[in-house]
Structure 1
Amino acid sequence: MPRRNPLKPRSAISAQTDIHTGQVIRHHGRNALVEAENGERLECTARKRVHDLACGDRVEWSSAGDDQGVIERVLPRTSALSRPDHRGRPRSLAANIDQLLIVIAPAPEPTAALIDRYLIAAELMPARPALVLNKTDRLTADTRTHIDALLAEFAALDIPVVRVNTREPGALQPLIELLATHTSILVGQSGVGKSSLVNTLLPEHEIRVGELSEASGQGRHTTSDTTLYHLPGGGKLIDSPGVRDFHLWHIDKAQLERGFREFHDPAGHCRFHNCRHLNEPGCAVQAAVDAGEISARRLESYRKLYAQLEAAEERLGDY
């Protein structure tokens, strides 16, 4: 076998001396806007071996000239927010987040079940969850009563709650303080005003804002790409496409229990170590509900999600 010429590189990659690190600020498909360590931004294309690229990813990239680059690999993540794609496979929306802000508003009407699913995602990432009630200036007597009760349930779980709107001077200060020391992502239904919040926090970016559809009462999608912004008061903010629903098909039943933080202590006292907290005798979680220490609605929410995951597993088993 002929000896390899030691002066000839094994590959183009091994010959590169311009490998740099940066963070994905925005991406679509295999294309991404990367912010280099010196603050400069360049358009990059990911190599075929780079999979599941997400906004917020730390990456290694090489120069391709003319403010162009090639993403060579994704560095290890501290966290990732994922949701199933149209084939049911998990797809990362954002990476390296340490705070998940669930935005709700008087309309579209917030649902506890959707908030539960976001909280499960936050617990499993892991990331600190917080609730942001936006458009407080649009509250009516009826919606205020409903939303106050909803927020009180989650505040009892030590989940921070802030109330804001974009029309009153200083009304965003609680949110600014919440964002200051974190890399946060805004999630929530379309139409709750996430893009309006980003516009007010960062007016120079001019994020497209949509109104509710008169026909459906649901929000129109106005953000098509997940984008990371640097905040003037400190911290980083990721704005994600609005979703009308958020499913957890990509987790298993064991992970589901970990997503309910108030179950952790009583679950250790169940009669059976593999208690599923459904209808087993000696279930300490059920006992905590009966004693008024845990919300009965939350346990029912857990049981519904458990049944959905079990049904999904059975469907997969048929293939």
Structure 2
Amino acid sequence: MTNRRLTQRQRARIQRQQDHRRERAGGPTPAPDEVGLGPERTGLVIANYGVALIIEDDEGDLYRCAVRQNLGRLACGDRVVWQPSGAEEGVGVVVALIERRSLLTRPDYRGQLRPVAANLDEVAVVLAPEPEPSEYLLDRYLVAIAAIGVQGLLVLNKVDLLDAAARAALLERLEPYRQIGYPLLLASNRAEQGLDELRAWLGGRVSLLVGQSGVGKSSLVQALLPEREIRIQAISQATGHGAHTTTTSTLYHLPGGGDLIDTPGVRSFELGEIIPDALDRGFPELTPHLGRCRFSDCRHQGEPGCALAAALARGEIVPRRLDSYLRLRAELMATRPGRPASS
């Protein structure tokens, strides 16, 4: 896809065209257009193979579709307007993107942001006794989740590996997250523990599971999607060349309702595009104290009258959460030379 820059007039024209296509997709069925495409229809992006998307129509049928260049990059979960080909069955062209309510991105190998999953309602961060959980990495996840405005959920997997003392200690470490509003579910695929509760949380929502390698995310996906292999075969047939879905993001319908997007490559989020205000949203327990320091340029590093230091002394802030906030804030400000830090 070309990376050429569009003028404001070109962007406005493209936007008008897409608006018109979205309106027509919900109206009377028109005749095939001049290039032999059928009527405009709405659909859901199930998988993205770069040069082609797999689109599910409103009846649940799958189509391999090319994408008009002016639409940019699309992602699993995107709602689109598309037209079936009049010349080849099961093939079509995506002609418009329906407005997203949320979008998760990550940098590609060139550092450019690439959409991963769209229209998410929830992101579940999967943890486990091994590898050792990192609060700093968890905080990065939660900041990125807060930045796109969706619900965050913590899933402690493989709890069958913990004895009573180790379990209590790990739950104590995670208690500050529960206290600031992040639900904490305990699960074990091997012991079939907590799976019903997780299904209930995911039901009726578009969700994504993320986590470090080795936390058992793949096992949870398998347990939640008993017909996953059947779905993979259907999607592979739709691609026309037998491609497997384990290396690309794929959307699956959960048996009890809702959708789960499986993204094998997403294990962490980069925060380079997150502004300081979005960082603050990832630390809701700090919000009542931010902006209340004696000095407007307070760096929260021992300055007199620091509201965060006072809250820490009163026990209203967990020390390791404040450490994470300051560390992430320093990283973000380092990428924005000349930008004043908010307090």
The question of 1:40 aligning with 2:61 is answered: yes
Give yes or no for contact 2:185–2:194 (8 Å, CA) kept in 1: no
In structure 2, C-alpha distance between the alignment counterparts of 1:37 and 1:307, rounded to whole Å: 47
The question of 1:188 aligning with 2:218 is answered: no
Give yes or no for contact 2:37–2:92 (8 Å, CA) kept in 1: no
Residue 184 of structure 1: how far off its partner (Å)? 0.9
Could you report, residue by residue, the CA deviation over 1:62-98 in whole angstroms, capped at 9, with x for unpaired residues? 1123101111122111011122222322222101001
- Look up the SS of the partner of 2:191 in the other structure: coil
Match of 1:252 among 275, 289, 294: 275
Q: Over the residues paired in the alignment, what is the CA RMSD in angstroms?
A: 2.7
Residue 247 of structure 1: how far off its partner (Å)? 2.2
Match of 1:24 among 45, 54, 65: 45
In structure 1, C-alpha distance between the alignment counterparts of 2:143 and 2:277, rounded to whole Å: 12
Could you report, residue by residue, the CA deviation over 1:180-212 in whole angstroms, capped at 9, with x for unpaired residues? 1321110111221112111112122149xxxxx
Q: 1:206 to 1:17 in 2, by over 3 A?
A: closer
The question of 1:160 aligning with 2:183 is answered: yes
In structure 2, C-alpha distance between the alignment counterparts of 1:314 and 1:20, rounded to whole Å: 47
In structure 1, C-alpha distance between the alignment counterparts of 2:302 and 2:70, rounded to whole Å: 47
In structure 2, C-alpha distance between the alignment counterparts of 1:293 and 1:102, rounded to whole Å: 25
Give the AA of the match of 1:56. Answer: G
Of stretches 18-27 and 260-269 in structure 1, the one that deviates more from structure 2 is: 260-269
In structure 1, C-alpha distance between the alignment counterparts of 2:165 and 2:110, rounded to whole Å: 40
- Structure 2: state its 5+ residue gaps: 1-32, 231-244, 339-343
The TM-score, its normalising length taken from structure 2, stands at 0.77
User: Aligned residues, how many?
Assistant: 292
Residue 46 of structure 1: how far off its partner (Å)? 1.4
- Look up the SS of the partner of 2:286 in the other structure: helix
- Structure 1: state its 5+ residue gaps: 1-10, 208-221
Give yes or no for contact 1:89–1:250 (8 Å, CA) kept in 2: no
Q: Which residue in the other structure is 2:18 paired with?
A: none
In structure 2, C-alpha distance between the alignment counterparts of 1:311 and 1:70, rounded to whole Å: 43
Match of 1:134 among 153, 157, 164: 157
Give yes or no for contact 1:22–1:61 (8 Å, CA) kept in 2: yes
Residue pairs, 1:258-269, within 5 angstroms: 258-269=281-292
Percent sequence identity is 45
Q: 1:66 to 1:55 in 2, by over 3 A?
A: same
Residue 245 of structure 1: how far off its partner (Å)? 3.8
Q: Which residue in the other structure is 2:172 paired with?
A: 149
Residue pairs, 1:43-192, within 5 angstroms: 43-64=64-85, 65-140=88-163, 143-169=166-192, 171-192=194-215
In structure 2, C-alpha distance between the alignment counterparts of 1:303 and 1:190, rounded to whole Å: 26
